[in-house]
Structure 1
Amino acid sequence: MTSEEIASIFGNKVRVRVMGLWVHDHKVLLLNHSGLNTENELWLPPGGGVEFGEGLSEALSREFREELRVEVTVGDFLFLHEFRSEALHAIELFFEIKAVSGEFVLGIDPESGDNQSLQEYAFLSIDDIQKKGEECFHPVLRNLQNMNELLGYRGFFIFGK
């Protein structure tokens, strides 16, 4: 997607997003999105926009079904991250994922339309993140020392761009 397409779909409004952190064997489940940054590779936890009238757990469960074709048990609310750039402003609510059932199959991002941004999913370790380069990851994943640190965040954060 071009920056103009991103701005037309997601920009110039505050979006409320939910994101799920599932850590298994010291690795976090992430989705690779193309076309969202200059590196053309952006790894994010599964999640997305909350629809009007939808509960937060319900929204996160829906996002996992859309993006990975699995059912999840949403655990505790962990933290809030505010993301702001020139055209984008998002309030991101992070939850721990307690359980996953089903076989992972890469799904779709309905907001991307015909120009699908989802490329792959993977369980990545801290070493994997550092080797790829932190600019390819959501700001919450940058500068982590271990996965317990990620699951230990509580409160309100602005991690940077």
Structure 2
Amino acid sequence: MTHRPIRIAARAILVHRDRLLLVNAYPPSVGSDLWCAPGGGAEPHAGLPENLAREVREETGLEVRVDAPCLVNEFHDPARDFHQVELFFRCRLVRGTLDPAWEDPEGVVTRRRWVTRAQMAELRYRPLALPSVAWMEAGAPRYDPLERIVG
């Protein structure tokens, strides 16, 4: 039995003015309320930081500086033969603001927003370790184990 290769993705932990940048990558027709950090699949022959800066720019219109990795997360959907490993990097805002008129050229990200630590409690997001990693809580994990995908 052959399987699809594991997909590698890079994601941004971007905290600016004590707010974390999140995106929703589901079309309105799906109506998912699941939020995640911006980023996406790595393209061959480009480093993960380069891939991540491009993804953040496409999804949000923001220019970032990519710093050190801070979390490895993985999830899968056995029914679709899908398995993704995500490397999260701390990022710094270099330029830009969230423009409500911004459109992701690939049409993947439909909503984007800044959230406080307190607002995270009101949202559905993945990975579950996201707030503790973003706000650098003592004991925040560096690896979030394999879990089934949720929509």
> TM-score, normalized by length of structure 2?
0.77
Match of 1:98 among 62, 82, 92: 92
Note if 1:140 corresponds to 2:136.
no
The 1:125/1:119 distance shift into structure 2, 3 A limit, reads same
Question: How far has the Cα of 1:151 moved from its partner?
Answer: 10
Determine the C-alpha separation between the residues in 2 that align with 1:24 and 1:59: 21
> TM-score, normalized by length of structure 1?
0.73
Match of 1:51 among 43, 47, 61: 43
Which aligned runs of 4 or more in structure 1 are off by greater than 3 angstroms?
A: 140-146, 150-153
Residue correspondence of structure 1 range 5-154 to structure 2 within 5 A = 12-35=4-27, 40-86=32-78, 87=80, 88-105=82-99, 106-108=102-104, 110=106, 116-132=107-123, 136-141=124-129, 144=132, 147-149=135-137, 152-154=140-142
The 1:146/1:59 distance shift into structure 2, 3 A limit, reads closer
Q: Any gaps of 5 or more consecutive residues in structure 1?
A: 1-10, 111-115
Q: Hey, which of these two has a bigger chunk of strand by percent?
A: 2
Determine the C-alpha separation between the residues in 1 that align with 2:113 and 2:74: 25
Determine the C-alpha separation between the residues in 1 that align with 2:126 and 2:98: 21
| 3-state SS in 1 of match to 2:70 | strand
Q: Hey, which of these two has a bigger chunk of helix by percent?
A: 1
Q: Give RMSD over aligned pairs.
A: 3.0
Q: Any gaps of 5 or more consecutive residues in structure 2?
A: none
